[in-house]
Structure 1
Amino acid sequence: MTTTATTRPSDLFREGLRLLLAKDIPGWVGLWADHGVFEFPFAPDGWPKRLEGKAAVADYMRHYPDHIDLHDIPDLKIHETGEAGTIVVEMRGVGRLVETGAPFDMTYIAVVTVADGLFTLYRDYWNPLAISKDSAADFTRSDR
């Protein structure tokens, strides 16, 4: 998918999910604006709460497939909002934690803003307490 200024936020989000499932992290990062912001409002102490810029998002996500083997997004609801370029997403991701082989089953809510066909703001309201901190430490530590 080539992103353009006319790319609908829901279409861009679905393309992002396709890339994550394919473990194409560079492709997923390519959907971000250079100045994009990725926020984690529920991040516990020691975990990143805000990533500013495409390079920071790329650095954070580069090892994602080494830690979480995402298999499917069986539940996906994308809600249009009254604000141009903004959607609210409810989804469930399933797979396994690579290090332990334990099942991964996470429900997410995200508020996503798109401008000029790219992600500019992604607020990820996931529950980091749903997986053990030890299992995800390398992936989520802000000091790595």
Structure 2
Amino acid sequence: MSFAALLKTRPVGDSFASGVNDDEHAAVADSGDVANADGGLPVVWHVIVDIPFLDGPFRRTRLSLDEASEALSKRVERATVVERVLRALRSISDADDWQVTISWKGVRAERDGESYERLEQELRAAGFDDGDFEIRVEYARSWGML
């Protein structure tokens, strides 16, 4: 096995970044079991779902009563969307080990080993769009650095 073949990590569609495209690898990409596709090298996928609040800081000064009321209404509407995305994540994922962080920027839900392709497809099927969530994927090999 070549060194380049050992480095292939991420499925893209039904093929791997190294250009391998056969039924065995497509089945592995669909199942999410990428560790076996890498020649037995374990890869841990860390899925991050960011759900942003509105642009800008929550703290604003020198607002009129109407401006303050409107700003709070927008925040409440956005908080409702965030809640719906979190509920959808809960219904899509069978896992209970999501790590959720709430900051002034938004909500971040993180988990190792979740199928990120399926999450994105099912969130879009539930009616959410690009402004409602962002999925990022990080990976690590348990055998360490090269």
Tell me which interval the TM-score lies in, with the shorter structure as reference length.
under 0.3
Greater strand share, structure number: 1
TM-score (norm 2): 0.23
> Bigger relative contact order, structure 1 or 2, given CA contacts below 8 A and separation 6+?
2
TM-score (norm 1): 0.23
Larger Rg: 2
